[in-house]
Structure 1
């Protein structure tokens, strides 16, 4: 079966500025490639309903648009074909000198690998799309593609490609969900609308506070990585 994965990051400043906040997160949504048009149709209908012509984004959530983003959350949880996974990294404990030859960019993409590899399953094809960002090493995404492809010899990672977020509704949905989880863990959601959206997910869909899940959670998987090893 062919799958597509759309990824984004939140709180990257914590990896370079230790006083910024506690956690950095990288998140992605997984869906069968044949359902891509369903994703686009569903999110575009919500945007049209609220006359939104710009991209959906966690940073843009405001009281005026809270109902819009609640409908985006409803869409995600009601779409059985979409799954979400986020990796949370306690940035202050990342030791790039010891493990990455002082290369923070390499360390960042190792965390990307940890996000993705656990949801690459046998006998499937995966096309992975990340939010476009400038890398010092222009071969990072190709290196990630090859590493993921070699990690499971019975699956095929066909591409890892950067896309501008405004061109991808999948990346926009990943941005919202990742930003929401990272803000919850960093206790940085100071706007009323963002706090209400976090509470909306917790009360309506999770019946508990957002917290690390078991590795087997399939819909809303929160992986707080233990930098000493293990889940």
Structure 2
């Protein structure tokens, strides 16, 4: 089966300044490729219904747009063909020198690998779209694809590509859902509208927003463990 994955991140600055935030997050939307047009058309319809013309972003949640974002959240949780997975990386556990040759950018793409690798299954094909960012090493995205391909010999990594978020609704949806998790774990609930959306999210999942098991396949929160163990 062919799948598409849309990704966005929050707080990458902690890779150069660990005091900037408590957590780095990288979030991802996973859909069957055949569902792409349904996703786009459904989100466009919700935008039209609310006369919402801005890019979808967690930072744009406000009282004037609250009903739009609540409807978007309802759409996500009521649609079986969309799954969300977010990686949490605790800032005070990142050791760039020991594990990443002192290179924050390298560590960022290693965390991307951890986000993606554990949900890639044999005999499927994956096209992965990242939010575009400027890298010191222009080969970071192609290297990520190469590493994923080498680790998944029984599946196909058809594409790993960076695109501007304003052109891709899947990346925008990833930004919104990642922002909810970021608000919870970095304690960044700056308005009543954002608090409403966090509360509604917890109502949908049936519990407080906490790290989940690997088997959670609708709203998966993966807190990476650097301590090892079993």
Q: Which residue of 1 aligns with 2:174?
A: 174
Taking structure 1 as reference, are residues 112 and 166 closer, same or farther at Cα in structure 2, changes over 3 Å only? same
Q: CA deviation at 1:230?
A: 5.9
Question: Which residue matches 1:59?
Answer: 59
Q: Which residue of 1 aligns with 2:205?
A: 206
Contact 2:19 2:91 in 1 (8 A): no
In structure 1, what is the equivalent of residue 184 of structure 2?
Answer: 184
Shift of 1:18: 2.2
**1:223 aligned partner:** 222
Structure 1: segments with no counterpart, 5+ residues:
none
Correspondence for 1:88: 88
SS at match of 2:97: helix
Report the alpha carbon displacement of residue 207 of structure 1 after superposing the two structures with TM.
Answer: 1.7
Is the CA contact 1:89–1:225 (under 8 Å) kept in the aligned structure 2?
A: yes
Cα distance in structure 2, aligned partners of 1:170 and 1:101:
33
Q: In 1, distance between residues paired with 2:115 and 2:172?
A: 18
Q: 1 CA distance for matches of 2:115 and 2:89?
A: 11
Conserved in 2, the CA contact under 8 Å of 1:5 and 1:28? yes
C-alpha separation between the residues in 1 aligned to 2:60 and 2:96?
32
Tell me the C-alpha RMSD between the 2 structures. Answer: 1.1
Q: Which runs of 5+ in 2 are unaligned?
A: none
TM-score, normalization by structure 2: 0.97
Cα offset for 1:229? 2.9
Q: CA deviation at 1:14?
A: 2.3
CA contact (8 A) 1:29 1:84 kept: yes
Deviations 1:66-95 (A, max 9, x none): 110001101111110011000000012211
In 1, the alpha carbon distance for the partners of 2:113 and 2:99 equals: 15
Task: State how far apart, in whole Å, the 2-side matches of 1:9 and 1:209 are.
Answer: 22
Q: Give 1:114 shift.
A: 0.2
Contact kept? 1:14, 1:91, Cα under 8 Å: yes
Q: Which moved more, 1:52-61 or 1:113-122?
A: 52-61
Alpha-carbon distance in structure 2 between the residues aligned to 1:81 and 1:10? 24
Could you tell me how far apart the structure 2 residues matched to 1:34 and 1:130 are? 19
Judge conservation of contact 1:46–1:72 (CA < 8 Å) in 2: yes
User: SS of the counterpart of 1:8?
Assistant: strand
Q: Which runs of 4+ in 1 moved over 6 A?
A: none
Aligned match of 1:42: 42
Distance 1:63 1:227 in 2: 39
Instruction: Assess, with a 3 A threshold, how the Cα gap between structure 1 residues 230 and 177 changes in structure 2: closer, same or farther.
Output: farther
Secondary structure of 1:160's aligned partner:
strand
